[in-house]
Structure 1
């Protein structure tokens, strides 16, 4: 438990998508092509962005992707944040918005910019090196590690699932 095959990732991602549809949430399954691992879960949300002085700077559109990591054999969370004018938040602005309490030197180990493994463009990503270990720490293994992963890692970057995701007995 903890690491995941591509086949299991796809099966669990589709189960997660069914839950999302039942709850009226807006997750989607994006498929670049039928090759492994060119399919991922996608979610968009808007967030309020504030300046360092505490003034509202407007809305930021955040696009999240849950992608299969071939190297680590776990789900991996990528995202991009765009201002209302379409410009991309830089690394510093992203850290301030998503992880304001974290010490700067530790941020590169947690949240860093890397190429998206499917789209081959720079995205922010939560590093997957300890994901398998974290997923293994549950006393009773999760039937849907994708759901568990999003529930655990999402809040670190302002991605919060509805509590109802945990109540759907068929997949949890």
Structure 2
């Protein structure tokens, strides 16, 4: 497995941000301070979803963070989802909204609640334990593993990148 250093993550996150700025799609690089690893990519969007079985659609604001996992040495996707009244979706509601087709016994292995490594607040996280293996399956290493990571993992939590990301050099 090819591991990613903090400096590689930061450089690739900055490259990703340049593409985002060219496309004008709203990603930002949040820098808490100059310590490692206190920088992450951040993106917000509103999504419509069925939160309950009554069929009514709810508007949810989702804030995504792409952070560096020191333990696994890979990018990691964290997010928080809030209802329009500002209340935070709990773990079970998040599972219903983002992973309704997943067997309940598998959910804890995929999507769990954890403390944000920079902000030290609870966030939902796609578990990074197999991220390195997934990224390595592409044979020739990606020029930007952060971009590849977001492209692969984002759709699982309704985070879609524009096709133009794949066309940029």
Task: Give the TM-score taking structure 2 as reference length.
Answer: 0.97
Residue 159, structure 1, aligned to residue 166, structure 2: no
What is the alpha-carbon distance in structure 2 between the residues aligned to residue 160 and residue 167 of structure 1?
A: 15
Q: State how 1:99-118 maps to structure 2 within 5 Å.
A: 99-118=99-118
1:74-93 alignment runs, 5 A limit: 74-93=74-93
Contact (CA 8 Å) 1:2, 1:74: kept in 2 or not?
Answer: no
1:24 is displaced (CA, Å) by: 1.0
| Cα shift at 1:53 | 2.2
Q: Could you tell me which runs of 5 or more consecutive residues in structure 2 were left unpaired when the two chains were aligned.
A: none
Q: Tell me how many residue pairs correspond in the alignment.
A: 168
Aligned-pair Cα RMSD in Å: 0.9
2: CA distance between counterparts of 1:2 and 1:138?
Answer: 12
Distance 2:56 2:39 in 1: 39
Cα distance, 1:43 vs structure 2: 0.2
1:42 aligns with 42
- Aligned twin of 1:55: 56
| Residue 17 (structure 2) aligns with | 17
Closer, same or farther: CA 59–2 of 1 in aligned 2, 3 Å: farther
Unmatched 5+ stretches in structure 1: none
